[in-house]
Structure 1
Amino acid sequence: MDPTTQHQAIVKQVIQRYAQFKPSHGDIRLDTVFDDQQSRYALMQVGWDRGRRIRGNLIYITLDSGKVLVEYDGMEQGITQDLIAAGIASEQIVLAFLTDPQPVAQTS
């Protein structure tokens, strides 16, 4: 399996796991948005909480030039360690939301 196809599969698998969680309050659903053609992957939240509309990204990841770019990570623990545990090398993950994006440092 080529690296892009492998990265796509892993990113989708990890996001799908997050999509199984039920928000602790409100009537909110979690929707996965996967675009393999453009290598764009997102987890969206949509619904209502305490009379207010809730909508927006929880996770947004793009793939480019063999790298996994974490464009937005709204998860409490962060998604990078889950991506690494699933088989993506830390040096292939870039925290693109930082002012000076850097590959993720290896943690033990």
Structure 2
Amino acid sequence: MDRINNYREIIQKIILSHTKIPYADENIKLETVFDTTQDRYLLMIVGREKINSKYSATKRVHGCLIHVDILDDKIWIQRDGTEEGIASDLLNAGITKDKIVLGFYDPQIREETGFAIA
């Protein structure tokens, strides 16, 4: 169980570090969702952005930038909308490739990544 608690701490720290990076539009906010009971960790983007520079009209923005789950003693990256990729952050934090699943890839492609398949 210590490993899972360690995963939780690392994932939360990484996601929180991404909230420090300013979003391109100041009307968009970054919100974290940490469910430590079901081990789901999200970074959401929420707000309004201009439709285009010609109009002052805006549209609602609501989406998931990062989604990470802990499943079967592995860290599953379900969604990664970051530039660098959070798999790099996890590796830098000491998580080995065999404990990281790039869930956004098809299982066949996962075989070629060097990361865990499932």
Q: TM-score, normalised by structure 1?
A: 0.90
Contact kept? 1:34, 1:41, Cα under 8 Å:
yes
> How far apart, in 1, do the equivalents of 2:15 and 2:49 lie?
23
Contact kept? 1:10, 1:87, Cα under 8 Å:
no
What is residue 64 of structure 1 aligned with on the other side? 71
Deviation at 1:90, TM superposition (A): 1.5
- Whether 2:102 is the aligned partner of 1:95: answer yes
What is residue 52 of structure 1 aligned with on the other side? 59
Q: Which runs of 5+ in 2 are unaligned?
A: 51-57
> How far apart, in 1, do the equivalents of 2:16 and 2:99 lie?
21
Which 4+ stretches in 1 moved above 2 angstroms?
A: 101-106
Q: 1:10-42 CA deviation, whole Å, 9 max, x = no partner?
A: 000000000111112240100010001000000
Contact kept? 1:62, 1:70, Cα under 8 Å:
yes
> How far apart, in 2, do the equivalents of 1:87 and 1:14 lie?
12
> How far apart, in 2, do the equivalents of 1:26 and 1:12 lie?
23
Amino-acid identity (%): 34
- Whether 2:18 is the aligned partner of 1:36: answer no
What count of residue pairs does the alignment treat as equivalent? 106
Partner secondary structure for residue 66 of structure 2: strand
What is residue 21 of structure 2 aligned with on the other side? 21
Contact kept? 1:80, 1:93, Cα under 8 Å:
yes
Deviation at 1:80, TM superposition (A): 0.4
- Whether 2:86 is the aligned partner of 1:79: answer yes
Return the index of the structure with the highest Cα Rg: 2
